Structure 1
Amino acid sequence: MLEKRLEEARLRSTKLRKQITIGFLITIAVCSLILVSLSYFIFSTPKDVSVTVSIKMKPAEADIEKIRNEFKEILQQYKTELEPRLQAANIERWNQNAWFEINEQEKKAMLNFSNGDYPNALNNIQSLKAKSLAILEESEQIFKENMEKSSLFLAEDHYDGAKLHVEKALVVAPQSPEALVLQQDINKLQHILPLLSEAKAARAEHDL
């Protein structure tokens, strides 16, 4: 009788442990499911994103008029001063890339101005002015250097060197009176050199 009771108690204890284990496993499963669902909710919920919209403000009417006037002033300066100097410097012959860039920049400036895009038109005409001044400065430097070299060669009766450098100077300043006079002097040297050689030979014979 006692053994039967002990066996029943053992069975009840085993059954209770099974129930506790099953309950524990169910609790873990439910908790895991809750955690997974919560994680999905957190990551799938869109966050508030601060979006900054760049609004391009149109210039005020007074500013537009100021830009228009500045554009016209620079354009007039280019047409009356810079463009004639560029043509006189013969840019198209010795720097075709610069000549092309200058023409394209002028076209952009006029197109933007005619379309009412005055800020960009002003930027274009300012770039045109800067490019023109830079290329004119370069041409003046080329002229100066070659005139100096040509004069030195002429002083030493070196016809070929003098001729080469005066021609380079005339490329960037075809109508320069100074360069044209120097070229004439060099051409005279071409005719004088044979006479100088003969005189030198005669002196050498006389010394003998």
Structure 2
Amino acid sequence: MHEHDYALSHAQTGQLEVSRVLRNTYGLLAMTLAFSGLVAYMAQQMNAPRPGFLVVLIGFYGLFFLTAKLRDSVWGLVSTFALTGFMGYTLGPILNLYLSMPNGGEVVSSALAMTALVFFGLSAYVLTTRKDMSFLAGFITAGFFVLLGAVLVSLFFQVSGLQLAISAGFVLFSSACILFQTSAIIHGGERNYIMATISLYVSIYNLFVSLLQLLGVFSDD
């Protein structure tokens, strides 16, 4: 009897912890997306120059690892907003590039709508079915190195259709990451809402930019 009560109490505690992490993650994610969007809008309005590849790489990974190191303190929140604000800044010049197209506004709004649809659809699927997506870990690891290699090749060689393939690959990769991260939260694999937030944010960012590139290519006359 006591063992049954203990098991029930342990299960309830675990469910409360999952609910807390989910609530904090989606709350922080909403705030960081809003902040990132504001920074992107300001950068777009000021016609800010597009930072170089190395600047983006160093800035992103530097702030990402700093956030991971500070994830258990209040400074982790500061670093989270610094990271998402920086990524929002990099988005401003990208938006200006697409908005300068004849149908740029339609491309941007379509990419934004599709990003929201994919994110909410995948999240809802995992949250309602509670399916364990841990089996995607191998695919995500392999996908990361394949995409990294493709990006490096694209920097030095002009291969026809490679950029299109990279964008399509990032759409699949980001979708898998959203499924995996959401599943990790509800199944106990992720208990730090700051890390869960930045993982989902990066997936959403990559998904949006990749869809922008795909729609931009297919809508180009």
Q: If the length of structure 2 is used for normalisation, what is the TM-score?
A: 0.29
Between structure 1 and structure 2, the one with the greater Rg is: 1
Q: If the length of structure 1 is used for normalisation, what is the TM-score?
A: 0.31
Higher relative contact order (CA 8 A, sep 6+): 2
